[in-house]
Amino acid sequence: MQRRLIPSSLDDVSSPLPTRVSGGSIPNRLSLLLLFSFSILLYIDTTRFDFVVDDSLLLAHNPYVLSFHSLKEIFSQDFWGFRGTATGYYRPIVMVTLLVERVLFGVSPPAYHLVNAILNGLVVILVYALARKLWPGGTGALWAGATFAALPLHVENVAPVSGISDLECALFLLLSMWIYLGPGNSRPRLPRIYSWLAAAMFLLAVLSKEVALALPLLLIFYDVFLRAGSPSRPKIPFENYVPFFLLLALYLALRLAIFGSITKVTGASGPGLKETVLSALGLMGTYAFKLVWPQHLAYFVKFRPPEGWLALDVVLGVVFLLLAATAFFRHWRRDPRVSFAILWFLLFLGPVLNVRWLGFAAYGERYLYIPSVAFCWLAGEGLAQLGRSAAREHRLRFFLARAIPWVVLALLIGRTTLRLPDWRNDKTLALATLREVPDAAMSHLYLGNSYRQAGERTLARQQYVAAIASDPSLYEAYVDLALVLQDDGAVAGARALFRRAAQVNPRAPETFYGWGLLERGAGDLEFARQLFERAVALNPNYGDALNNLGIISMDQGRLDEAQGYLAAAARADPSSLSICLNRGILLARKGNFVEAEAEFRHAAQLAPRSEAPYLSLAGLYEERGKQSAAMDMYEKALQVQPSSPTALFRQGVLALKMGDVPAATSSLEKAARIQPDSALVHTQLGLAYRAAGRWVEARRELETSLRLEPDGKTAKEALQELK
């Protein structure tokens, strides 16, 4: 019989394992099913949630997730390169996943949330499978998987779609280690296929999130101290690491080619050595405390460096490190599995303790997702040993020892269940964050945006002001407050806020785009052009800015230039209705009626519930003398939007031209009821009444038109003819 090299399922996690977990009664396959189902049930409610925080940026405003033609850009640019931003993050696997999801699901939030829940469930299974390899006896692996699934800190990774980077990195990372450990722990030298498959998973993990780079160090530790052999004279299987280091070299070469350096791109000079060490210790203490006491959880907390060595979080960090170091050196010979778990936690958490890299976003519950794997391994084994420790003759002790693990799990489930609704939408998340951190500037911003979308402009303005008061460097708050003032007609105040936003962050394209809209509305087309060009220079994929440059060029008669801008806008945002309509208008102005018609029909496919494409087609047909075809388009526009005053008015005017006076009168009467203050509607309705011989109604409508617009030439002439 041919020897099987790769385990066929997670049941084969270790050759010496029995078919049932020692000390328990749950078969391994049933354990996998229970853990996966448990994790899915915990997060299934997220399928009713909206997109939050960065989700819309990554999906609705990202040209790279619209077509597989963008694969070159995805693999050759910064993760946030589609916005013209340099962060030093190189995560093409995450972007490819979002691309596949966008092609499959469009912009429907439930499907994306379900994918996140499934990925998290697979990670839970791998946490359990690796725990069984490390601790093959007892129920510790089962408790480890259940603890990981219920840990409240993981809500920040699973609930938002943007948390997929941690989920994929953890999935590939754990899969790499599971393959590397092979069917047993006895052979230092692995079959070549194991090494290469494990290295391939490692590369996928690194291309999902940079923190995975620590894995080879853990594998070396595992080979030296956990595989069979004498720890004093370990056999280091260097051939196992060749695939890892070759693929690691490939990854580093890619970073060097794309970013010009291997390390993360940083901004201005950060804190000094003392401040960095204090901050790292403070963050360590905060993370350790949150793991064991997951209360007062919040999203986007601005990190504040500790004031000194006696700060509570610094003291907690020092105590935790001392305890971890003591446990590490006490167990690395007696039970190196404990040392391995401690090393896992420290290596994967270490990179996010450097405030020089992360700046004001140094703290985040999401950073604990991968390090917490080790915490759950140790916690699971501890809970299992607790359940085995009490003798049956001591009934109370026996009952408490068996009950405590279930109580702990129930508390974790309850905390996770209470935390999840906070992520329902940006408004609920902002309110929940502000309850814990009242001066969280970004939460004030999100809350202001929610109020503005709901039409509660005064509340929105208050939140933007609060955001600026909490963080004067938050340029987005100036921009959003300027947009509110602009809508209120306070042009001078809005202009001052845009100017201030540009001073705070001169590299934010949104500032110059919003400012450009203001100046375009004020009639200063040249200055607006300069601002839109500045936005495009900062973000070449800024479809809205390119669209507005095309409109300005078209208004100024520079049609070829407009065509170039609009073509670039369509490449940046091929799903934009506005861009598509403007391209059709431009083609019509250039006399390319067939192409214009195709563009308008494409717009109707992009937005089948919008009247705009049908109105554009009707106008095109009227211009070409196809009045019947134009009338059909007006009918389609009214099917989509029955109360559209524009469609009713233009349909009535066309019917009057075609001599269908009853149809014209009917359409214009409806338009007049919807827009009673439109002089133009009353004029055309008066003309329709005159054509029908209804002189009194005609005089009334024409006089109404003149009251609304005393200089109306058409109404004056028609009324004079009636007299």
Give the Cα separation of 373 and 379 in Å (integer): 10
User: What type of residue is 474?
Assistant: L
Residue with tokens 């084994």: 381
Flag whether 647 is in a domain.
no
Backbone φ and ψ for 27, nearest 5 degrees, come out as -60, 155
Q: If DSSP states are collapsed to H, E and C, what string results for 103-143? A: HHHCCCHHHHHHHHHHHHHHHHHHHHHHHHHHCCCCCHHHH
Q: Which residue is it, tokens 């003798």?
A: 391
What span, in angstroms and rounded, lies between the C-alpha atoms of 77 and 571? 17
pLDDT at 361: 66
Residue of 97, 94, 99 lying closest to 208 (CA atoms): 94
Among 454, 509, 455, which residue's Cα sits nearest to residue 479?
Answer: 509
Within-domain flag for 451: no
d(CA 181, CA 7): 11
The answer to whether position 722 is within a domain reads: yes
CB 148 within 8 A of CB 369: no
Whether 39 and 185 map to the same domain: the answer is yes
CA pair distance 415, 428, nearest whole angstrom: 17
Tell which residue, 323, 315, 316, has the closest CA to residue 342. Answer: 323
Instruction: Say whether both 539 and 682 belong to one domain.
Output: no
191 is written with which tokens?
């079959």
In a domain, 11, yes or no: no
Q: Which residue has the tokens 């790499």?
A: 176
Domain count, the chain: 3
How far apart are alpha carbons 482 and 515 in whole angstroms?
A: 9
Report the chain (723 residues): mean pLDDT per 10 consecutive residues: 41 37 57 95 96 90 88 90 84 96 92 97 96 88 96 96 96 96 63 88 96 93 74 68 93 90 58 82 91 88 81 92 93 89 95 73 87 96 78 64 88 96 95 92 93 92 94 93 92 94 93 94 93 94 93 92 93 88 92 92 90 92 92 92 91 91 91 91 89 89 88 83 75
C-beta neighbour count of 568 within 10 angstroms: 21
Q: In 10 A of CB 604, how many CB atoms?
A: 21
Q: What is d(CA 147, CA 137) in angstroms, rounded to the nearest whole number?
A: 18
The b/e string for 253-262 (b: 16+ C-beta within 10 A; e otherwise) is ebbeebbeee
Residue 338 and residue 229 share a domain: yes
Q: Do 410 and 518 share a domain, yes or no?
A: no
What pLDDT is recorded for position 234? 58
**Do 247 and 125 fall into the same domain?**
yes
The per-type count for the chain, helices as H runs and strands as E runs, is 35, 0
Strand partners of residue 20: 27
- pTM, to two decimals: 0.85
CB-CB contact of 132 with 13 (8 Å): yes
Neighbour tally for 508: CB within 10 Å:
22
Domain match, 550 and 696 both = no
User: Where a domain ends, among 387, 417, 447?
Assistant: 417
Q: Rounded CA gap, 169 and 348, in Å?
A: 12
Which among 525, 676, 573, 607 has a CA at the least distance from the CA of 60?
A: 573
In a shared domain, residues 279 and 135: yes
End-to-end CA distance of the chain: 108
Q: Look at the chain and count its residues.
A: 723
**Residue at a domain's end among 398, 417, 436:** 417
Cα angle 596, 599, 604; round to 5: 130
Identify the pLDDT of residue 224: 85
Q: Is residue 19 part of a domain?
A: no
Q: Are residues 252 and 395 in the same domain?
A: yes
Fill in the DSSP letter of residue 45.
Answer: G
Say if residue 72 is in the same domain as residue 179: yes
Strand partners, 27: 20
Based on the domain organization, do 408 and 512 belong to the same domain?
Answer: no
The Cα–Cα gap between 721 and 723 comes to 5
Helix (H) or strand (E) holding 606, with range, is: helix 593-606
Q: What pLDDT is recorded for position 468? A: 95
For 349-354, the CB contacts below 8 A with 24+ separation are 349/284, 349/287, 350/214, 351/210, 351/211, 351/214, 352/211, 352/283, 353/279, 353/280, 353/283, 353/284, 354/276, 354/280
pLDDT of residue 267: 44
Together in a domain, 120 and 220: yes
| Helix or strand (DSSP H, E) at 654 | helix 645-657
What does the alpha-carbon distance between residue 260 and residue 542 come to, in Å, rounded to a whole number? 24
Q: Give the pLDDT score at 270.
A: 62
* Separation between Cα atoms, residue 464 and residue 475, nearest integer Å: 11
* Rg from Cα positions in the chain: 32
Exposure string for 275-310, b = 16+ CB within 10 A, e = fewer: ebbbbbbbbbbbbbbbbeebeebbbbbbbeebeeee
In a domain, 157, yes or no: yes
Q: Can you give the CATH number for the domain in which 698 is found? A: 1.25.40.10
Which of 397, 417, 437 is the last residue before a domain boundary? Answer: 417
CB 162 within 8 A of CB 80: no
Tokens matching residue 466:
């609060």
Judge if 683 and 545 occupy the same domain: no
Structural domain range at position 702: 663-723
